[in-house]
A and B are shown apart, each in its own frame.
Chain A
């Protein structure tokens, strides 16, 4: 965000030509952003309070159980971190294809296919645990990349917009993995009792699971470090490397990029596949991390992580480092929601509350986007 702010104020500086004024504006701009967030969140809280109060519930208990479930109760923030990891990975993938000017909205399916690939390897491969674990993760990456790669091929071979193909492939993924979960030769647990009744996969062997760390009574898998490292890497690649520069060129000026030698098939196609790979890795981490599905693949395994990861990228305004915070916030909403049932407020109402809070987080980036565009347009108009 800082970078974006700096850039914008550089533009203001350009139009005013006075640096003193610019630094003042930068400050105004930063506080302006905070102000927008504050207004939206307060508005969401007030409306939520009215809704809960109007339906006879206790607003204060809703709020405090949200906090209890996400961070306050012992062990809960570890749980929140566990949920934030796949959210962050999905968001990072989304950012990569957004920068290239593509809109992948099939993360849920890519994640599911990645997790299915990972499960297949994990349940059939034998060998030293660490090796199997690495192959499981690679299989997840491959699965996600293949699933997004289908959309790449359709996009650049037949001009099918990736928005549609990625979305529709989610439903294909659900059916395909669902088929795998009915078949013992693919994913279904061969143990006669569990498998046939539940349509779930065999459990991963102990040695092939991700190690979990314990910190102040909170537990989370070590994949958090990989996710953070990837966030920093994506940020560096985008800002400091030729590949990142060319990706962004493709996204903001496809014709100029083509002329300058950036092949949209290569860069666009790969960015979509890489975005799928991030989702696949997220799926593999969910499987091996222990916070989801108890080391088994189940129907509905992705539990909306794919969809919400997309929102994380939007909230972070396509900035990798900010996505870390955004992922944690969204994860907190998820884990906090688990405690809402205990407040006695109707689950429909608590869902409205959650949705309002999500909206409050997504409206400011939209406002900022529109404001930036207006400024750009106004600046462009002044010059004609």
Chain B
């Protein structure tokens, strides 16, 4: 890249506050035509806010925006669209029962013509290598294909500037690579400007031309990707030198340690004497709408073992977590904890059997936001007063809460602080404190580090490891492959509600893992079996 391309968008001195929190402070950003610009930063660094300002979802408190050199005030997404700015959001906004082409033209005001809409979708998909059938219904599509629909939706208006917010969160490694090839085509053929917002070092390193690193609302470094390497990016992103191994999850960095693989190989073998503390066999469940949630899923966790459930989001992670929280009743199959079969779907049954859960929907099944920290710490077994009659011992609750808050370093104004007033990291600590203090046999952690900052991620993963060391069988359900690889000792792969493969962490084959996650390996295996 010798010649400097003209800027498609320039953000100058953008400052945005939310209440007392400064999300962006005097941020400059220049997106050039024909370049993929990586915006790197950990959760809460202000990168999403900056993009919201560009797309018209947030009005800046100070600063100005130049689009193709012209000062612009972008007050809503419609205006952004008319200026040629398109965004692919992290969370999809697709209407599942509709077809691909119907979703693409959704919101169109002019007269609709089905055939021309289909043609347009075909054109775009061929031009950029986004293979998709316009007539497929969205609910049949995998997460990767759904993202293609979103990208086509975005490209249909032929925007000059394309913003992607954490696009690989729902993709398998192979799908991510495909996505980056598409992005490369978008910048090279059409000379568009692409902004890739991410907290993953590896993808920013491999997919971008230029990198802006944000930390705590400010730009801390700008550099060309060719001059960057992982350790220096990590240092800039976190503000201190770090070991990439222990921060792998936060940085989206996978390190395959050969030495560890060999060393682990010996101890990994199954010890026949130890009985699994958790055994799920043949678990099948359907949703209210008849959709298959779990399809004869079987897995085992031994005491002290960390089993990671890898897989693309939407393949049964939520259902598996719900079963372990007694929130979903199985149509068939059994769950055995410590040798005893536990009825599924019965209120409190799993909790009483010693299953601790860090749920992925922590605001719904993990805690009660309206209640105090002390109340949340004692949801399952509130301390009873010696007076009897089911009277609460509020003093004991308070002192219990104080002890747990100290033990788990929960930062709050006190045990009576409402749960909603706590930050995400502290809420997660409250959950950990409650679940781990009950001497559980099994710990089920679903997406335990989602949305946390680096400190929070480190704390939570250490606590999970510590629990396993103390003999708790841990089931880690995560769509972040880095997280599974970082914490788990054994990895099982979840696809369409069933386990399609298994491999030890040591000697992990990322290629095969990715194929299993996308169901490709299962299909070929099934084909082979049929022959």
A contacts, CB < 8 Å to B: 7, 10-11, 13-15, 17, 240-243, 245, 248-249, 252-253, 255-264, 376, 378-384
Contacts and interface: CB of A to CB of B under 8 A. Distances in A.
B361 A255 contact: yes
B491 to A, nearest CB: 26
Interface residues of B, number: 47
Given A248-B371, A382-B18, 14 more contacts: A7-B372, A15-B20, A242-B391, A249-B368, A253-B369, A255-B364, A257-B379, A258-B365, A259-B327, A259-B359, A261-B351, A376-B369, A381-B18, A384-B451
Contact of B384 (A242, A256, A262, A378): A242
Contact of A10 (B20, B327, B392, B414): B414
Contacts of A264: 347
14 contacts: A11-B421, A13-B413, A14-B418, A241-B391, A242-B390, A245-B382, A248-B371, A252-B371, A253-B367, A256-B367, A258-B325, A258-B326, A258-B365, A262-B347
A303 B46 CA distance: 59
Main secondary structure of the interface of A (DSSP, over half): helix
B382 A261 contact: no
Contact of A249 (B19, B379, B394): B379
Contacts of A258: 325-327, 347-348, 365
A259 B351 contact: yes
B394 A7 contact: no
Nearest to A242: B390
B375 interface: yes
Most central of B372, B384, B392 by chain A CB within 10 Å: B392
B7 interface: no
Contacts of A11: 417-418, 420-421
A259 B390 contact: no
A102 to B, nearest CB: 16
Nearest to B348: A261
A14 B351 contact: no
B417 A253 contact: no
Nearest to B49: A384
A380 B499 CA distance: 36
A381 B348 CA distance: 31
Contacts of B379: 249, 256-257, 260
A257 B375 CA distance: 12
A108 to B, nearest CB: 30
A175 B394 CA distance: 48
Contacts of B422: 14
A363 to B, nearest CB: 23
B389 A255 contact: no
A10 B348 contact: no
B473 interface: no
B235 interface: no
B127 interface: no
Given A245-B382, A260-B348, A14 B394 contact: no
